[in-house]
Chains A and B, each alone.
Chain A
Amino acid sequence: MRILGILLALAGWLLPLAALSMTQSTGARFGACVLGIIISLVGILGVLNGFHQADAIWKKG
Chain B
Amino acid sequence: MKFWERTNRYLWMSVAMLLVCGLAAFAQAPAAAPPAQAVAAPTSAQATPAPAAAAPAMDVPLDIKAAAPPSADDLAKGDPGGTKTGTVSDVVAADTKKGLTLADVVNQAGQNRIAINFVWTLIAGFLVMFMQAGFALVETGLTRAKNANHTMMMNFMVYGFGLFAFWVCGFAIQMGGGAPYSTLGGITGLNGEYSISVFGKPFGLWGTHGFFLSHGGAYDVGAMVMFLFQMVFMDTALTIVTGTCAERWKFAAFAVSSVFMGAITYPLYANWAWGGGWLAQLGSNYGLGHGYADFAGSGVVHSVGGLTALAIGMQIGPRIGKYTRSGKANALPGHDIVLVLTGCFILAFGWFGFNPGSTLAASGNGALRIASIAVNTMLAGCTGSFGAILYMWMRYGKPDASMAGNGLLAGLVAITAPSGFVSTIGAAIIGLVAGVLVAVSVEFFDRVARVDDCVGAISVHGTCGLWGVISVGLFADGTSNYGGSWNGVNGSVTGLFYGDASQLVAQFIGVGTLVGFVFTLSYVAGWIIDGIIGHRVSASDELAGLDIPEMGALCYPDFVLKPEREIVPAMAAGD
> In whole angstroms, what is the CA distance A21 to B317 when docked?
40
Residue of B nearest to A56 (CB): B317
Known: A6-B524, A58-B322. A12 touches B511 (CB 8 A): no
Q: Is the CB of A16 within 8 A of B450?
A: no
Residue of B nearest to A7 (CB): B520
Could you tell me which residues of chain A, from 30 to 60, have a CB within 8 Å of some CB in chain B? 30, 33-34, 36-37, 40-41, 44-45, 48-49, 52-53, 56-59
Q: Is the CB of B512 within 8 A of A36?
A: yes
Q: Residues of B within 8 Å of A, CB-based: how many?
A: 40
Q: Residues of A within 8 Å of B, CB-based: how many?
A: 34
> For B527, what are the chain A residues with a Cβ–Cβ distance below 8 Å?
2
Residue of A nearest to B570 (CB): A58
Residue of B nearest to A21 (CB): B199
Q: Is the CB of B519 within 8 A of A30?
A: no
Q: Is the CB of B199 within 8 A of A48?
A: no
Digit string of B440-472 for contact with A (CB within 8 Å is 1, else 0)?
000000000111000000000000000000000
Residue B323 at the chain A interface, CB threshold 8 Å: yes
> For B519, what are the chain A residues with a Cβ–Cβ distance below 8 Å?
9, 40, 44
Main secondary structure of the interface of A (DSSP, over half): helix
Residue of A nearest to B574 (CB): A61
> For B523, what are the chain A residues with a Cβ–Cβ distance below 8 Å?
6, 9, 48
**Which A residues are within 8 Å of any B CB, using their own CB?**
2, 6, 9-17, 20-21, 24, 26, 29-30, 33-34, 36-37, 40-41, 44-45, 48-49, 52-53, 56-59, 61
Known: A56-B317, A58-B323; 11 extra A-B contacts, CB below 8 A, are A6-B520, A6-B523, A9-B520, A13-B517, A24-B287, A29-B505, A30-B501, A49-B450, A52-B314, A57-B320, A58-B322
5 contacts between A and B (CB under 8 A): A10-B517, A13-B512, A40-B512, A58-B325, A61-B325
Closest 6 A/B residue pairs (Cβ): A13-B516, A21-B199, A33-B508, A58-B323, A40-B516, A40-B515
**Which B residues are within 8 Å of any A CB, using their own CB?**
198-201, 282, 286-288, 310, 314-315, 317-318, 320, 322-325, 327, 449-451, 501-502, 504-505, 508-509, 511-513, 515-517, 519-520, 523-524, 527, 571
